[in-house]
Amino acid sequence: MHGEYKVPGGKLVVVDFEVTDGAIADFRLAGDFFLEPDDALDSINGAVTGLPAETDASAIASAVRAALPEGAQLLGLTPDAVGVAVRRALVTAPGWRDFDWEILHEKAVSPRMNLALDEVLTTRVGAGLRRPTLRIWEWDESAVVIGSFQSYRNEVDPQGALRHGFDVVRRISGGGAMMMAAGQIITYSLYVPASLVQGMTFADSYAFLDDWVLQALRSLGIDATYQPLNDITGPSGKIGGAAQKRLANGGVLHHATLSYDIDGQTMTEVLRIGREKLSDKGTASAAKRVDPLRSQTGLSRAEIIERFKDTFRGITGAEDGSISADEYEAAEELVRTKFSTEAWLHRVP
């Protein structure tokens, strides 16, 4: 068995082992990480050898953690990464380059249409009718996009939204509200088969699927990191957040919104951002939590998007693609029957 896992923001973890009588045998860990003392490697190998082959990633990580010598230093490597690499080997999970990728960056459409396209394209990838895809959003009006399970009245100030020209829509993924002001954010969606994140916990898959954008941000001089569960952060605060939805047919939607520029005062008037939500963030102001890309890079939104696409191409070999006429038609039908209905918007009052 052979498995590989690139630690988000860290190093490559490689595992090789056999499975004998239902147990992991002859386990060997390798990679470009740093580990002190040297014999900690033997401790990790010994901790995993003999574990039942059905041991999950968290239990493997616990075994590794317990076996490490006191004071051991792991740089670019974590016990959890060892667990993920083992599980991916056992399910023969593919990597980014094992798929044929597309990048979509098309005409501006309404926020509702963007949400409908997310559902349509995820379904198509899950059904094997479309290649795995990265899509950059463009939209023709401002909107607040609330998470699938958020309460409309708890999250949005309707009068504030109306006053500032924000429509309110609901997406199919969980997570928090996004204030999508025209020209002020960068949003992308990944539509991938579940096999790409096989062996990962739900939390691990967030960091894995956004690692490419961390690389893009670092190439722009931003010291970007991932803060579990779903925040992309910089030295001065949050840059963006991600959300996921997994469909029964095996399609996975992972999308993220990053702040290019932001009007903090408008945010506080459109969103009901309470003190409880901010209490663990170390700040009393929603505006201070967000660290926009414009001020950090001095680049235009279009230039940053091009760097994102170039980085993704370098990692995956992706080609530019297009949304088909029938995919647009299917999305238009979803807008009519779901995303523009009061029943969907207020499914959680």
124-151 residue pLDDT tens: 999 999 999 999 999 999 999 999 999 9
* pLDDT for position 288: 54
Looking at this protein, which amino acid is placed at residue 142?
Answer: S
User: Burial level of 279, CB count in 10 A (0-12/13-18/19+)?
Assistant: exposed
289-301 burial code (b ≥16 CB/10 A, e <16): bbbbbeebbebee
Cα 154 from Cα 348, distance rounded (Å): 10
User: Which secondary-structure segment (H or E) carries 234?
Assistant: strand 231-234
The two three-digit tokens of residue 206, written as one number: 């967030």
- Name the pTM for this structure: 0.86
Sheet holding 251-259, edge to edge: 225-227, 231-234, 237-246, 251-259, 185-193, 133-136, 102-105, 319-320
Q: How far is CA 2 from CA 25, 28, 66, 87, in A?
A: 12, 10, 24, 10
261-306, pLDDT tens digit by residue? 988 888 889 998 753 454 454 444 555 567 799 999 999 999 999 9
Residue labelled with tokens 């490419």: 212
Q: Count CA within 13 A, CB hemisphere, residue 59.
A: 8
pLDDT, average across residues 21-37:
97
- Of the ranges 168-172, 204-208, 260-264, 314-318, which one carries the lowest mean pLDDT score? 260-264
> What is the tens place of the pLDDT at every residue in 207-248?
999 999 999 999 999 999 888 889 999 888 899 999 999 999
pLDDT beyond 70 at 251: yes
pLDDT of 204: 86
Q: How far apart are CA 154 and CA 171, in angstroms?
A: 16
